Amino acid sequence: MGVSERKAREKEELWNLILEGAMKLFAEKGVANVTIRNIADAVEYSVGTVYVYFKDKNAILHALHTKGFLELRDRFLVLLNVENPMERLKAAGKVYIQFAQEQPDMYDLMFNTQAPMDFVKEGDGDVWNEGKATFGFLRTMIQDCQAVGHFEGHDPEALSFLIWSIVHGMCSLRISCRTDVVNLAQPTTQGYAEFLRMLDKF
Amino acid sequence: MGVSERKAREKEELWNLILEGAMKLFAEKGVANVTIRNIADAVEYSVGTVYVYFKDKNAILHALHTKGFLELRDRFLVLLNVENPMERLKAAGKVYIQFAQEQPDMYDLMFNTQAPMDFVKEGDGDVWNEGKATFGFLRTMIQDCQAVGHFEGHDPEALSFLIWSIVHGMCSLRISCRTDVVNLAQPTTQGYAEFLRMLDKF
DNA sequence: ATTAAAAATGAACAATGTTCATTTTTTTTA
DNA sequence: TAAAAAAAATGAACATTGTTCATTTTTAAT
């Protein structure tokens, strides 16, 4: 019988509908200003229904953060065209920073907000898959660089974390308005350019 | 007459009392879990009184964040003993990271949370003095390094921002639990060690 | 057409930041 | 010293939030 299958499909559709409604509001008003009631209104369902499909607000924020990682992964696809590992690494940083600049709220949700991590820790797997895959991608790039002679004597794990920290630090400080005290017109762009200049020695 | 003076003193004393109560709760339960009612209870005054002394919660959080910067500045004092500019810079990073590790909530309030910045922007001066002074301190260190031949050809402003971003990025990722996907026992310590190894080339 | 299961509902709850008319305390004045 | 004025403290009340759950509505099975 195809009934249960159709039901499953409908269930998934509403799940997506709610999530997309949340996504839209979230882009409009910022994550901090979106309430469960807002989301319910937007999709024309009751508050209770939202809670049928999502355990709590953390679950919604985690699902949203996952969508963010999907888009970031898409953006990273252009890197496959970059043959030279070092150039690929440099380009990856640019893509990362650009994403953070264009979608600051989403970036904040992905890399700063506690909610998605709380959801992960409440769950079964207990592991942050999105972060794991993304960091793994960076680690591979670093190893590719080392394979052609760069970063000699450096530990790839620590170096990956260091480089992640550099771009994250700049994006994070920018988003939280801490760069107001830095006398640069475009802090992240100019800061990253400075980093690229450093990389020339490796 | 000494009445108004005594009044002013009493006013400041209660202001401090409230703030220290907030500070204590804040250290106990974390910034996210402290309410105005908690603070009022802790100092044995009413909720309304707290609002007589502080415009809103942002004002309290800003005052707390300022206390954090005072402590960070104190910790930086040991750097005055380090003659060599490059060694001073390296030591400064260590102090910064250590502070973030020992007081993650305070660090988060100082460098991530929106509230203190909102307070600054609502105010007159409109400038984040704490950040300005701290960043200025870093800039001076970089310039001292350049004066003895380091970082040749690098822009001090951009370089300062880059280095700030490095240590902030590591601390920030650590505090927001994003380092769970990094295979390092002590991400910040090992990541910073990797950075120090990089600095050898400059 | 009845019954059972599933899905959707929205009123209700506790907790939060915030306000403000009222009360209490202190200071000044007569 | 007693009354009036000013300052300080109060806490009840409001709007919003995330969340729950008994009830109603819709759908499926008999």
> What average pLDDT does the segment B131-156 reach?
97
- Round to a whole number and report the distance in Å from the CA of B59 to the C1' of C29: 38
With CB atoms and an 8 Å threshold, state whether B194 touches A155. Answer: yes
- Six-digit token pair at B175? 């505090």
CA distance A200 to B118: 39
Å between B99 CA and nearest CA of chain A? 17
- Round to a whole number and report the distance in Å from the CA of A57 to the C1' of D10: 36
Please identify among residues 60-99 of chain A the ones whose CB lies closer than 8 Å to any CB of chain B.
none
Residues making up chain A, counted from first to last: 202
The string of DSSP letters for A130-150 reads: HHHHHHHHHHHHHHHHHHTT-
pLDDT at position A2: 67
pLDDT at position A8: 74
pLDDT at position B12: 85
- Six-digit token pair at B96? 């910064």
Own/partner long-range contacts of B94-102 (Cβ < 8 Å, ≥24 apart): B94/B192, B96/B72, B96/B167, B96/B171, B97/B167, B97/B170, B97/B171, B97/B188, B97/B189, B97/B192, B99/B71, B99/B72, B99/B75, B100/B171, B100/B174, B100/B175, B100/B188, B101/B171, B101/B174, B101/B188
pLDDT at position A7: 66
Residue A79, helix vs strand vs coil:
helix
pLDDT at position A3: 63
Q: Which of A107, A108, A162, A174 to mutate to test the interface with B (most CBs of B within 10 A)?
A: A162
Type of residue at A22:
A
pLDDT at position A9: 79
With CB atoms and an 8 Å threshold, state whether A162 touches B187. Answer: no
With CB atoms and an 8 Å threshold, state whether A172 touches B112. Answer: yes
pLDDT at position B75: 98
**Distinct helix (H) and strand (E) counts, chain A:** 10, 0
CA distance B34 to B28: 9
> At B8, is the pLDDT very low, low, confident or very high (cuts 50, 70, 90)?
confident
Give the largest Cα separation in chain B, rounded: 67
Kindly list the structural domains of chain A, giving each domain's residue range(s) and its CATH number in brackets, ordered by start. 1-54 (1.10.10.60), 57-199 (1.10.357.10)
- Round to a whole number and report the distance in Å from the CA of A123 to the C1' of D30: 39
Q: For residue A90, with 0-12 CB atoms within 10 Å meaning exposed, 13-18 middle and 19 or more buried, which class applies? A: middle
> Which nucleotide shows the minimum CA-to-C1' distance to residue B51?
C18
Contact B140, B160 (CB under 8 A): no
Q: For residue B149, with 0-12 CB atoms within 10 Å meaning exposed, 13-18 middle and 19 or more buried, which class applies? A: exposed
Give chain C positions with protein CB within 7 A: 6-12, 15-21, 27-28
> At B16, is the pLDDT very low, low, confident or very high (cuts 50, 70, 90)?
very high
pLDDT at position A123: 86
CA distance A25 to A42: 8
Contact A65, A116 (CB under 8 A): yes
Residue A128, helix vs strand vs coil:
coil
pLDDT at position B123: 86
How confident is the model over B45-78, as pLDDT tens digits?
999 999 999 999 999 999 999 999 999 999 999 9
Residues making up chain B, counted from first to last: 202
With CB atoms and an 8 Å threshold, state whether B173 touches A111. Answer: yes
With CB atoms and an 8 Å threshold, state whether A111 touches B201. Answer: no
pLDDT at B6 over 90: no
pLDDT at position B5: 73
- Six-digit token pair at A73? 């992964």
pLDDT at B184 over 90: yes
Residue B196, helix vs strand vs coil:
helix
Residue in B65, B19, B64, B61 with CA at minimum distance from that of residue B39: B19
CA distance A40 to A62: 17
Residue A110, helix vs strand vs coil:
helix
Q: Using a 7 Å CB cut-off, which residues contact strand D?
A: A 1, 3-4, 6-7, 34-37, 47-48, 51, 56-58; B 7, 10-11, 14, 45-49, 51-52
pLDDT at position B2: 64
Handedness of CA A168, A171, A177, A182 (dihedral sign): positive
Question: pLDDT of chain A along its 202 residues, tens only?
Answer: 566 676 677 778 899 999 999 999 999 999 999 999 999 999 999 999 999 999 999 999 999 999 999 999 999 999 999 999 999 999 999 999 999 999 999 999 999 999 999 999 998 889 999 999 999 999 999 999 999 999 999 999 999 999 999 999 999 999 999 999 999 999 999 999 999 999 999 9
> At B9, is the pLDDT very low, low, confident or very high (cuts 50, 70, 90)?
confident
Tell me which chain B residue has its CA closest to the CA of residue A115.
B176
